[in-house]
Chain A
Amino acid sequence: MSQTSHGIGGLSYDAKKRPWPAEFNVFLALVILVAAFELIGRVFLGDSFLFNTRENVSGLFNEQRLQIIILQVSIVGIIAIGVTQVIICGGIDLSSGSIVGATAMIAMSFAQVATVNGNPNPKAMFIDYGWTDLPVIVPLLVAIGCGLIAGLINGFLIAYTRIPPFIATLGMMVTARGIAKWWSKGQPISFPTDSFAAIGKGLMPVVIFISLAILFQLILTYTKYGKHCYAIGSNEDAARMSGIKIANHKVLVYAIAGILAAIAAVVLSSKNLTAQAGMGVMYELDAIAMAVIGGVSLSGGRGSIIGTVIGSLIFGVIISGFTFLRLDAYYQEMVKGVIIVGAVVLDQWRQRRRAIGA
């Protein structure tokens, strides 16, 4: 006999029969996916996906591959954190990839060295003003300012003109990409200071991604802000009747998403030691995909940062697995599209099943 604990009012409630948290299913999918690649690798390539098979390197796991998996998703993952809270709140943000592009260009131009190999830096836009070798805080603040402004514009448009988030952020997506190209007339900007380059060095992107993920998981779970995100995404009318200031909250949500996109821009341009106008193209969709794969419901109200992090790992495993199986990059994109649609179909199916009380 299972132990029963009692609910309010004498009703019996079996805590053991609680449904699994949604994140558990996502994690299961990740495990299955890794196992599948491992199996296919062993059978067809005679190589292991997960474990170390080289004799000149010690260690149980193929650490190099694991690092690449997490490193390549950590920058889009930072964006996905912001996108997750936007989607939980019932919105969508298509502008994050372009915000990355524009912010990278603008921030990079404030992170230039004065001389390259003894010659004046040809890329330094502000060399005439003497704005070179600035302390790293300057490009950082410039970047956060850019993300904040873009996010605030998104937020105000959505909260006060009541246009759909899809349209507002689509406008920002096009505009921000234009700004990225206009800023240096299409030229890439390189030669950052050492202190700026340190931000994205080695495993720093992973550290930044995980720290931000933990921070926002805590914010969404334990603060008023988080609770209101779920409430608005779940039933906006109920939230309004309960006295939550919907407009203010939405502005804040999109502003934070903008800032996170800006942080991703800094990490990315620092890691690549250059900024280009085409940076971050399609990142918005990758970020949305990570969230959706991680169990964040596009209809709002459900999901978590933990889910998104696992979703980003699934994303990384797929890309890395395709490389491991020596499949062309074309296939990656095709499969990516299928996975995004599949995850949404799965979410719809889950909701319908829940609605009929199964």
Chain B
Amino acid sequence: MSDIVLKTENLTKHYGGVHALQEANFELRKGEHVAIMGDNGAGKSTFVRQITGVEQRTDGKIWFDGKEVNFSGPIEAREAGIETVFQNLALADDLDVPSNLFLGREKVLFNLGPFSILDRKAMRKATEAALVRTAVKIPNLSSTIRHMSGGQRQCVAIARTATFASKLIIMDEPTAALGVQETAQVENIIRTLKENGEPLILVSHNMRQVFDLVDRIVVFRRGRIVANLRKQDTDGNDIVAYITGAKTGQAELQAA
């Protein structure tokens, strides 16, 4: 039990009459990378939004890092150690890389309330260290995010989550809008995170990517978890069958 980072029990979310998520039971262990797959509207993003506190669940329980949690908002979840890379990048275009990495949690030289003097050197150093650790390539730290490619932006967003000794990283389709090379760069970062033993939940549509990167695949269909398979026990066709509903998998879930 102690090596379980995140656990949900009967996690349920209704939007009015729409049952977007029903009784999701999910577990994530230390150092494990898990992919969440499913068709559009299957409940993947809804699931992520309940865990990160962006929305409030209708029913069910969440344990994180050994404690039962009730996040009232994404900031509380982040303070607890859940870092999320959102589909729409949460970066400020007109700020440089260190400012974005430390946005909202700046290092400070003198504390004068809102007028606290920033420790720009320390933030720059920590940024360089973080980028090296996650193997992110950025030509110039002082240029603003506006001047960067989609891939570089995504890398900065991911480096941000990895900078702060987070206990869990969630990525919601991090490569959906990226080109081939940029996707490869993001995937390399994810491999580096794996080597560093940082647990990860990856929401993705990309079958090749999922089989390349993660240990376990969880499939959502119509708001329910229909499959929970270790990578070596399954293949692409099998997963597609679960996603489309050709295979229901309830029996196997019960057996597992």
Contacts and interface: CB of A to CB of B under 8 A. Distances in A.
Interface of A: 7-13, 15, 18, 219, 222-225, 227-228, 230-231, 233-235, 237-239, 241-244, 249, 252, 301-302, 354
B207 interface: no
B92 A223 contact: no
Interface in B3-37: none
30 contacts: A7-B139, A7-B141, A8-B131, A8-B132, A8-B139, A11-B139, A222-B117, A222-B118, A223-B117, A223-B118, A224-B108, A224-B115, A225-B114, A227-B99, A228-B114, A230-B94, A231-B99, A231-B103, A235-B91, A235-B92, A238-B103, A239-B92, A239-B104, A241-B74, A241-B86, A242-B103, A242-B104, A243-B104, A243-B105, A354-B146
B178 to A, nearest CB: 16
Contacts of A9: 131-132, 135-138
B209 interface: no
A254 B95 CA distance: 22
A7 B118 contact: no
A297 to B, nearest CB: 8
B128 interface: yes
A53 B91 CA distance: 55
Contacts of B99: 227, 230-231
Contacts of B132: 8-9
A350 B47 CA distance: 41
B75 A243 contact: yes
B120 interface: yes
A243 B83 CA distance: 12
Nearest to B135: A9
- Chain B contact residues: helix, strand, loop or mixed: loop
Contacts of B118: 222-224, 227
A85 B90 CA distance: 22
B74 A231 contact: no
A152 to B, nearest CB: 15
Given A222-B118, A227-B99, A12 B139 contact: yes
A224 B106 contact: yes
A230 B89 CA distance: 17
Chain A interface secondary structure, helix, strand, loop or mixed?
helix
Contacts of A8: 128, 131-132, 136-139, 141
B78 interface: yes
Contacts of B115: 219, 223-225
Contacts of A223: 112, 114-118
B181 interface: no
A15 B143 CA distance: 11
A234 B90 CA distance: 11
A7 B99 CA distance: 17
A296 to B, nearest CB: 12
B149 to A, nearest CB: 9
Nearest to A88: B94
Nearest to A248: B114
B141 A241 contact: no
A244 B95 contact: no
Contacts of B138: 7-9, 11
Nearest to A6: B139
Closest 7 CB pairs between A and B? A9-B137, A242-B104, A301-B94, A243-B104, A234-B94, A7-B139, A234-B92
Contacts of B252: none
A222 to B, nearest CB: 6
Contacts of A224: 106, 108, 114-116, 118
Given A9-B137, A237-B90, A231 B78 contact: no
B93 interface: yes
Given A8-B136, A9-B135, A231-B103, A238 B90 contact: yes
Nearest to A10: B137
A231 B235 CA distance: 44
Contacts of A7: 137-141
A230 B137 contact: no
Nearest to A224: B116
B100 to A, nearest CB: 8
Nearest to A5: B140
A231 B106 CA distance: 12
Contacts of B108: 224
A342 B104 CA distance: 36
A222 B117 CA distance: 6
Given A7-B141, A8-B141, A244-B103, 14 more contacts: A8-B136, A18-B143, A223-B114, A227-B95, A234-B93, A235-B93, A238-B89, A238-B91, A239-B103, A241-B75, A242-B105, A252-B114, A354-B146, A354-B147
Nearest to A297: B94
A239 B74 CA distance: 12
A23 to B, nearest CB: 15
Nearest to B114: A225
A162 B146 CA distance: 27
A231 B95 contact: yes
A233 B120 CA distance: 21
A224 B86 CA distance: 24
Nearest to B105: A243
B117 A230 contact: no
A115 to B, nearest CB: 44
Nearest to B84: A241
Contacts of A219: 115
Nearest to A236: B92
Contacts of A239: 92, 103-104
A7 B96 CA distance: 14
